[in-house]
Amino acid sequence: MHRIHIFCKGLVSSIAMLLAAQAYAVLPIQEISLSNGTKAYLIQTNALPMIDIEISIDAGSRYDPKNQSGLAALTAAMLTRGISWQSGTLNEAQQADAIAELGASISASASGERTIVRARSLSKPELFNPLLQLLVASVSKPIFDQSILMREKQRVSSAIQEGDTKPEVVLQKRFRQAVFGNYPLARSPSIESIAAIQEGDLKRFHQDFYRQDRVIVNLVGNIDHAGAKQIAEQIIGALPAKG
């Protein structure tokens, strides 16, 4: 039940789009059993020739070390900043271009509870299949380029500095501290915590938390149960088994 709740919450925008096209249609959630014992979930509809994928990973900021708040968010950001690809690598621009050429999108972000990676593509095999390969590589084989990481750290630090001048941001931080107390969700990234994060920290976080047993794959769109299972197996199979 908890997993279905996460699934529904994470795909609100996709479901809203499909409900607009299928005004009063009932869209049942299909549960898919995967070979490693985990589950995936599918909402099948042919309203649009598209497939939305959400990879929900138990790798949120609650797992950030106390002096490295922002580690989960930086790790997620780096998934689309360059990947190992076939016999070489794709840098940030090449990765973005490869996705754009397919008319598709891949994004990643971390919240307090989970990291969410989303992909959207037309369902035509000649477009979807290469997009799936790029998605799998983004989740399983980010390269964590040092120069890109330094740029991202500067970007985040600048955003923190600017946010600290806004009363609503300061109030939000204080509210979290009041609500969560000593729980990790009370912490917010600071300039100091971002500065403490190094390339090796991202690699360790990725290795520790981006694992098969921490992932739920959710799909919405023009794909049947068998096809969805094959997609989910490919995504899960690219990640290491439980530690």
Tell me the residue ranges of DSSP E strands in 76-214. 82-85, 88-91, 105-110, 115-122
Instruction: Please report whether residue 241 resides in a domain.
Output: yes
Same domain, 77 and 152: yes
| 216: CATH | 3.30.830.10
Cβ(57)–Cβ(34) under 8 Å?
no
Q: What pLDDT, on a 0 to 100 scale, did the predictor assign at position 23?
A: 42
Q: Which residue range is the domain that position 113 belongs to?
A: 1-58+104-141+210-243
Domains in the chain, number: 2
Same domain, 202 and 170: yes
Same domain, 53 and 151: no
Q: What pLDDT, on a 0 to 100 scale, did the predictor assign at position 210?
A: 98
Which residues are within 8 A (CB) of 89 and not within 5 positions of it... i.e. 6 or more apart?
82, 83, 143
Q: What is the dihedral of CA 176, 178, 180, 186, to 10 degrees?
A: 40
With tokens 């076939």, the residue in question is: 86
Q: What pLDDT, on a 0 to 100 scale, did the predictor assign at position 236?
A: 97
Same domain, 70 and 154: yes
Instruction: Please report whether residue 197 resides in a domain.
Output: yes
Instruction: Please report whether residue 88 resides in a domain.
Output: no
Q: What is the spatial distance between Cα 165 and Cα 196, in angstroms, rounded to a whole number?
A: 22
Same domain, 181 and 135: no
Same domain, 108 and 45: yes
DSSP state at residue 182: T
Same domain, 166 and 233: no
Instruction: Please report whether residue 156 resides in a domain.
Output: yes
Same domain, 159 and 199: yes
Instruction: Please report whether residue 75 resides in a domain.
Output: yes
Q: What pLDDT, on a 0 to 100 scale, did the predictor assign at position 243?
A: 59
Same domain, 186 and 242: no
Q: What is the spatial distance between Cα 21 and Cα 23, in angstroms, rounded to a whole number?
A: 6
> For the chain (length 243 residues), average pLDDT per consecutive 10?
50 52 68 95 95 98 95 98 95 98 98 97 98 98 97 95 85 82 85 97 98 97 98 97 75
Q: Report residue 51 CA to chain centroid gap.
A: 16
Q: What is the spatial distance between Cα 51 and Cα 222, in angstroms, rounded to a whole number?
A: 6
Same domain, 32 and 148: no
